[in-house]
Amino acid sequence: MRRAPRALVLVAAGMVALTACTPELPTVQTDPAPSVAPPVLSSVQDAAVYEAVGVALGDASTTLDPAELEPRLTGPALALRTVELQVAAAVGSTDGLTELPTTVQSEILPTTQTWPRTALSVSVRPEDLGTERMYVLDQATARDQYKLWAWIRLFPSITLPTFAAPNVGTESVAPDDASLLMTPADAVARYADVLTSREESAFAADFPDDPLRAAMADAFTKQSTIAEELSGTFTETYAAPEGALRAVRTDDGGALVVAQIDSTSTLTGEEGAVVSPNAAQRALIGDVPDSNSVSYGRTILVGIYVPPAEGGEIGTTVVGSEFLTTSASIP
C-alpha cells in the first residue's frame, strides 16, 4: 500500500475526541472456502481506488470546491465533506477538515455479484494521532467507479469482529436480513431511538455505553440548561433515513453495519432573548440577524456490529462514529 501523498487535516468542531488507545483491528481467516464466489475487487484495485479518493480529497482541500469530490465521493461522505469545505471557505481556514488518510492497513473485499457493491477498509493512524478511520466504498452500478460512501472514527480500544481474508471476500448483508439478532435496519432505528430518548428508550439495554451516545447525551444536557436560563425550550430528535445503510457479513455470521442517522435540534428562548449560533452554524446560516431561536441538523455516521441470532463473537456493539452539523437556520 502507498503512503498518502499529503496530510489532509480537518477536525470538525464538536467532534468526539478519539485519541486514546488504538482499536484492535479486524483479524482475518487465511483458509479460503472453495464454495464461495471469489472477491469482485482485488487488493490492487482497492489500493487504486483509495489513491483516486486521496487525489479528490487533496484537490478539494486546495480549491475548497466540492465539485472536486464528486468523481470519488458519494452519499453521506460527500455530504459531510461538502459542508466541511463550505465552513472552511466561510471561516478562512482548513483546520476544521477531517484528516482522512487513504493508506489502509486492513481491507474487507466484496464477493457480491450484483449491485450495489460494498467494501470496507481500516486506515493507518492519522497524523493527528486520532484513531483509525473505517471507510465504506460503494459501487452503485457496473458502470460506476467505486466511491467513498462513508467514514467513521473507530472508538478507542474497540474490538472489531473477524472477517474473511481479502482473497476470500465478504458478502453484503441486506437491511432486512433475518439471520441476525436484529436486522441491520432495526439495529440502526433502535440506536436512533436511544439517542433521542437516552436511558428512557425501550432499547437502551440493547447497546452498551459508547462515546457517541455519551457525547450526544452531554450536548443535550448542556443545551437544555441554556434553554432553562433563557426561559425557553430545547428539542432534539434522531431518525435513520431509509436506504442510508451498508452492511457486510462477519466471520461468525453476524454483520457490521455502517449507517446514517440524522438529528434535528431547536433551541428557543423567551420572546426578546437572543440565541447566537456558533461559528459552524453561522457559516451555514449566512448573514441573517440573530433571533430568539436557532435550529440545526447533524449528519451522523455510526458503525454497529450485530451478532447472529445465535452465538457471535461479542454482543451488539457500536464500534465508531462521525458527526457534523450539516444544516442550520434562524426561524
Tens digits of per-residue pLDDT, 129-138? Answer: 899 999 999 9
CA distances from 151 to 236, 289, 324 (A): 24, 35, 12
- Percentage of the chain beyond pLDDT 90 is 85
Instruction: Give the global pTM.
Output: 0.88
Q: What is the mean pLDDT of residues 297-315?
A: 93
pLDDT tens digit string along 84-102?
Answer: 999 999 999 999 999 999 9
Q: Which residue, among 262, 236, 279, has the nearest Cα to 326 in the 3D structure?
A: 262
pLDDT of residue 23: 66
Pairwise pLDDT comparison (37 vs 165), residue with the higher score: 165
The pLDDT-based confidence of 128 (bands split at 50, 70, 90) is: confident
CA distances from 21 to 73, 252, 256 (A): 29, 25, 21
Instruction: List all residues 6 or more positions away from 71 whose beta carbon is below 8 Å from its beta carbon.
Output: 52, 56, 145, 147
β 255-268/233-239 pair status: antiparallel
Q: What DSSP state is assigned to residue 179? A: T
Check if the beta carbon of residue 318 is closer than 8 Å to that of residue 304: yes
Provide the phi-psi class of 312: left if phi over 0, else alpha when psi is between -120 and 50, else beta.
left
pLDDT for 113 beyond 70: yes
Cβ burial 106-120 (10 Å sphere, 16+ → b, else e): bbbbbbbeeeebbbb
pLDDT tens digit string along 33-82?
Answer: 445 578 999 999 999 999 999 999 999 999 999 999 999 999 999 999 99
How far apart, in whole angstroms, are the C-alpha atoms of residue 321 and residue 151? 8
Mean pLDDT over each residue of the chain, to the nearest integer: 91
